[in-house]
Chains A and B, each alone.
Chain A
């Protein structure tokens, strides 16, 4: 099996694992400053990792994209810093510790791959997510061989970026029992087990995938395009994919309702779906 086919699988396994608690070890590692910030972060309703502020460095030279990413990730409760070129990024990764670095490969004064090299040479604990407009396979292979955790090709869906980012951070930072708690739902991704008010819920593979994708992006409108590409990848532009999404969501919603979990998934007419936090 080619190496790259493992990626979506690896990623699917680890997507959407929310670790609800924190551990002493983690606390010991994180600085006092970030612990203070954690209080702030925890107050954010959609915060991906309660009690702990995840620090992210965004390395992107295109100002509009950088701003959008910053706005998007801050809104999601991450503590973000930006670097607009290689020099800035290099300085920041040398000075500070991040949980994850988003690296654009094409920078005006250098290559993002060199930043990945620097991070790996410094044995940084930071996860690395490469975002590149160069769809070149060489870059992808090289990036992953250098130790990047994932590779996302531009243009990407923000929801997809978020899902992958969470997966990386969880893989790197939290070990042990993983479960995702959301309102009345508890999900054990390792066993593909979904509990609604402690009652097991039987889902098809697709319904389960969709639920995990929603859980990675709570309170956010997910466009049908983003959902289709998340589930089917290259096959997403097949004519019927939106109809399937509709059917799967209808079934998923019905099953949740039957177990007393009502009004979780909202349909945004013509556009997509949203997981309601309340």
Chain B
């Protein structure tokens, strides 16, 4: 719900309450004032009539029987309300009545004066109408005012919001927000600018950390590798030493590859591939990767069945697209059996790779975890599928691993 709609709702509630209260008060007050006025008029007429009767010594002539009647001497003096049926309008009309005695030549007479009161219904009608009109006017103008305010006063807020939406961590410059004369918004802008600066600094530190970690690990490994390669050039090297050197050399290679894989994983996790995405022809990547794996497939007598690849373009970092397809296909070839099958299906919605492989007893989805490998003694660190999964997560794809015991078929599916 919009902030404005919410405040408007409260305004409306409050005005309705005030309207009811105001109507009640106005009604009561008017009623009282009118009744008071009528009473005063009746009293004045009484004084006037009494004076005239004393001066003329005769009863007044009755011209309006509704307003003045002369009754017998049975009455008591009173000022009261009464309702008289109006024969012309055919409705009951409230009257204020005063009865008082007068003496004409020693003879006592009772006079009754009546004055019609305004009908309650009429008063209420008028009050309601006036109040409603006022309220509509008030609320209408409030709405218009708010609309105007939201357009003009809230503009800096919208600008900030837009800037934040377009903000990307990878961009080198921090968020530039326009000046605003309104304290609240300028405070907000300040806080936002500080926040983005902090976040950008953290991001840079993290990025530097992964790069430094890579540097600090790969450099000693490079030294080891180069020295060992020089060492094996020595023809005088005893065989036992050579075997040891070879083991160390392989271990160094393995460590280096492991570290490269881990660095790639943390880079994807830290979103360091950022906005470098461009449309990548996935069919081309698949074809190229299959070509690169040709030797390995031939050695296992695996004949890949590739359905005609439709052109599928995805906005990705090219290196990540290659890594994703490469890891999936490598996995399918590496764990394939002699003379096994390999099926590749690519549609606009998914990439599906099915291959024959060893029998699986665990949940296949577990194999997507880090350092999970089917054959624990294998040389590879078991990070290929986790890298593929991480790339999928990064781009909002879904990677699923299914295993069908019939034919021992492993299916890896990336749903875009």
Q: Tally B residues with Cβ within 8 Å of A.
A: 52
Q: Are B379's CB and A239's CB within 8 A? A: yes
Nearest to A240 among chain B residues (CB) is B299
> Does residue A271 face the partner (Cβ distance < 8 Å to B)?
yes
Among candidates A154, A159, A238, A272, residue contacting B219 with C-beta atoms closer than 8 Å: A154
Scoring A2, A4, A134, A220 by chain B CB atoms within 10 A of each residue's CB, the highest score goes to A2
A232 to B216, CA, bound (A): 26
Q: Tally A residues with Cβ within 8 Å of B.
A: 46
Among candidates A134, A136, A155, A271, residue contacting B226 with C-beta atoms closer than 8 Å: A155
> Does residue B319 face the partner (Cβ distance < 8 Å to A)?
yes
Interface residues of B in 274-313 (CB under 8 A from A): 276, 280, 284, 288, 292-293, 295-296, 299-300
A64 to B230, CA, bound (A): 12
A240 to B319, CA, bound (A): 25
Q: Are B242's CB and A271's CB within 8 A? A: yes
Q: Are A106's CB and B229's CB within 8 A? A: no
Q: Are A240's CB and B296's CB within 8 A? A: yes
A117 to B309, CA, bound (A): 43
Return the CB mask of A231-268 against B: 1 if under 8 Å, else 0: 01111011111011000000000000000000000001
User: Could you say which of B134-142, B176-184, B192-200, B248-256 contacts chain A?
Assistant: B248-256
> Does residue A22 face the partner (Cβ distance < 8 Å to B)?
no
Nearest to A104 among chain B residues (CB) is B219
A137 to B263, CA, bound (A): 12
Q: Are B226's CB and A2's CB within 8 A? A: no
> Does residue A29 face the partner (Cβ distance < 8 Å to B)?
no
Q: Are A238's CB and B330's CB within 8 A? A: yes
Interface contact tally, CB-CB below 8 A: 119
Given known A226-B229, A235-B330, contact A155–B218 (CB-CB < 8 A): yes
Interface residues of A in 104-153 (CB under 8 A from B): 106, 133-137, 153
Interface residues of B in 312-345 (CB under 8 A from A): 317-319, 322, 326, 330, 333-334
Residues of A close to B227: CB separation below 8 A: 64, 68
Return the CB mask of A51-72 against B: 1 if under 8 Å, else 0: 0000000000010110011011
Q: How far is the CB of A160 from chain B (nearest CB, A)?
A: 10
Q: Are A223's CB and B229's CB within 8 A? A: yes
> Does residue B380 face the partner (Cβ distance < 8 Å to A)?
yes
Residues of B close to A156: CB separation below 8 A: 222, 225
A130 to B57, CA, bound (A): 135
A137 to B211, CA, bound (A): 11
Residues of B close to A239: CB separation below 8 A: 334, 378-379
Given known A5-B288, A154-B219, A156-B222, contact A135–B233 (CB-CB < 8 A): no
Is chain B's binding surface mostly helix, strand, loop or mixed?
helix
A241 to B318, CA, bound (A): 26
> Does residue B214 face the partner (Cβ distance < 8 Å to A)?
yes
Q: Are B296's CB and A238's CB within 8 A? A: yes
Q: How far is the CB of B75 from chain A (nearest CB, A)?
A: 111
Q: Are A62's CB and B223's CB within 8 A? A: yes
Given known A69-B226, A156-B222, A225-B253, contact A235–B293 (CB-CB < 8 A): yes
Q: Are B222's CB and A65's CB within 8 A? A: yes
Return the CB mask of A20-42 against B: 1 if under 8 Å, else 0: 00000000000000000000000
Q: Are A206's CB and B295's CB within 8 A? A: yes
> Does residue A176 face the partner (Cβ distance < 8 Å to B)?
no
Q: Are A2's CB and B215's CB within 8 A? A: no
Q: How far is the CB of B221 from chain A (nearest CB, A)?
A: 5
A62 to B221, CA, bound (A): 12
Q: Are A135's CB and B299's CB within 8 A? A: no
Q: Are B322's CB and A154's CB within 8 A? A: no
Among candidates A1, A106, A135, A233, residue contacting B292 with C-beta atoms closer than 8 Å: A233
Given known A135-B263, A155-B252, A225-B250, contact A237–B223 (CB-CB < 8 A): no
Q: Are A133's CB and B214's CB within 8 A? A: yes
Scoring B219, B230, B263 by chain A CB atoms within 10 A of each residue's CB, the highest score goes to B219
Residues of A close to B68: CB separation below 8 A: none
Residues of A close to B322: CB separation below 8 A: 2, 5
Q: Are B333's CB and A65's CB within 8 A? A: no
Among candidates B222, B249, B299, B330, residue contacting A225 with C-beta atoms closer than 8 Å: B249
> Does residue B260 face the partner (Cβ distance < 8 Å to A)?
yes
Q: Are B230's CB and A155's CB within 8 A? A: no
> Does residue A221 face the partner (Cβ distance < 8 Å to B)?
yes
Q: Are B256's CB and A155's CB within 8 A? A: yes
Q: Are B243's CB and A270's CB within 8 A? A: yes
Residues of A close to B264: CB separation below 8 A: 135
A234 to B232, CA, bound (A): 24
Q: How far is the CB of B288 from chain A (nearest CB, A)?
A: 7
Q: Are B226's CB and A220's CB within 8 A? A: no
Residues of B close to A244: CB separation below 8 A: 295-296, 299
Residues of B close to A71: CB separation below 8 A: 230
Interface residues of B in 198-245 (CB under 8 A from A): 211, 214-219, 221-227, 229-230, 232-233, 242-243
Q: Are B229's CB and A133's CB within 8 A? A: no
> Does residue A178 face the partner (Cβ distance < 8 Å to B)?
no
Scoring B218, B229, B253, B322 by chain A CB atoms within 10 A of each residue's CB, the highest score goes to B229
Q: Are A270's CB and B246's CB within 8 A? A: yes
Given known A156-B222, A238-B334, contact A68–B230 (CB-CB < 8 A): yes
Q: Are B214's CB and A135's CB within 8 A? A: yes
A157 to B228, CA, bound (A): 10
> Does residue A158 face the partner (Cβ distance < 8 Å to B)?
yes
Interface residues of A in 1-17 (CB under 8 A from B): 1-5
Residues of B close to A4: CB separation below 8 A: 318-319
Q: How far is the CB of B295 from chain A (nearest CB, A)?
A: 5
Residues of A close to B378: CB separation below 8 A: 239
Q: How far is the CB of B222 from chain A (nearest CB, A)?
A: 4
Counting from the closest, the 6 A-B pairs by CB-CB distance are A155-B222, A2-B318, A133-B218, A154-B222, A155-B225, A133-B215
Given contact pairs A2-B318, A234-B326, enumerate 12 new A-B contacts (beta carbons under 8 Å). Answer: A5-B288, A62-B222, A68-B223, A136-B211, A137-B319, A155-B253, A156-B225, A206-B295, A223-B249, A225-B250, A243-B299, A270-B242
A-B contact pairs, 22 of them (CB 8 A): A62-B219, A62-B223, A68-B226, A133-B214, A133-B222, A155-B253, A155-B256, A156-B225, A159-B229, A223-B229, A232-B292, A234-B326, A235-B292, A238-B293, A238-B330, A238-B334, A239-B378, A243-B299, A244-B295, A244-B299, A270-B243, A270-B246
